[in-house]
Amino acid sequence: MSIEMLEAGPKGAKVLSVFDFDGTLTRHDSFVPFLRFAFGTREFTQRILRLALPTLRYLSRGMSRDELKAQLIGTFLAGVEAKWVCQQAEDFCQLVWPKLMRPSGVRSVAAEIASGAEVTLCSASPALVLRPFAERLGIKLIGTELEVVDGHLTGRISGNNCRCENKVRRLEAIYGPLTQYRLRAWGDTHGDHELLDAAQDAHWRHFHPAWRRSRSRYSKAGSPESVSPRDSHSNSEDQQGA
């Protein structure tokens, strides 16, 4: 932790460390691969083809990212038993962990826990799918919540997609005003900008290989310009499949 970080935020405040999941702690997205795993290649392909037109609308800016995600969730999960999804998520986590997770990211989570910080994932992916990963990391989880009625998913999101400003809102709903903490945050996409803006210690693509850590506005800490030799060595271990 930098000297600047020690001096940031309220004196004596608890450190709140927040990690995005997909692309930050992982080498790539997890939700679509989970759907392929859970439903099998044949069923997955049949269902994903139904999203061809919505995807074209999204690419032509006739549909928002959140609307496309809602279509994806509805296409695959409407009417599915929540208990079945939870079991599939457990099996998926066990199978893909070694190849999906960035080792330097996993070590950083462990270091934050050891430092005494309050640590949580904050992700746009469904919490139902990420829960086994959060449990294995030993941290809390904030994710997009899926509506469940009588034990079955309705195919709808409960509340808002947990990205952009909704990440900050969800954190504040659980932890209270973020200004009372020394906030550390890790992210890698536009959907993390508001979270990183709220942090005194913002890390942009911190666990990515150097060629992917382009200069960004998050230079106050954890930027490409301030990566230590030790962190650079850790990042090199993640280059395969990043």
**Which residue, among 142, 120, 122, has the nearest Cα to 195 in the 3D structure?**
122
- The CA angle 145-138-98, to the nearest 5 degrees, is 90
In the prediction, which pLDDT does 71 show? 96
In the prediction, which pLDDT does 9 show? 58
In the prediction, which pLDDT does 154 show? 98
In the prediction, which pLDDT does 194 show? 97
3-state secondary structure string, the chain?
A: CCHHHHHCCCCCCCEEEEECCCCCCECCCCHHHHHHHHHHHHHHHHHHHHHHHHHHHHHCCCCCHHHHHHHHHHHHHCCCEHHHHHHHHHHHHHHHHHHHECHHHHHHHHHHHHCCCEEEEEEEEEHHHHHHHHHHHCCEEEEEEEEEECCEEEEEEECCCCCCHHHHHHHHHHHCCHHHCEEEEEECCHHHHHHHHHCCEEEECCCCCHHHCCCCCCCCCCCHHHCCHHHHHHHHCCCCCC
pTM of the complete model? 0.85
Phi-psi region of 199 (alpha: psi -120 to 50; beta: other; left: phi over 0): beta
| Tens digits of pLDDT across the chain (242 residues) | 444 544 555 667 999 999 999 999 999 999 999 999 999 999 999 999 999 999 999 999 999 999 999 999 999 999 999 999 999 999 999 999 999 999 999 999 999 999 999 999 999 999 999 999 999 999 999 999 999 999 999 999 999 999 999 999 999 999 999 999 999 999 999 999 999 999 999 999 999 988 777 655 654 444 433 333 333 334 434 433 33
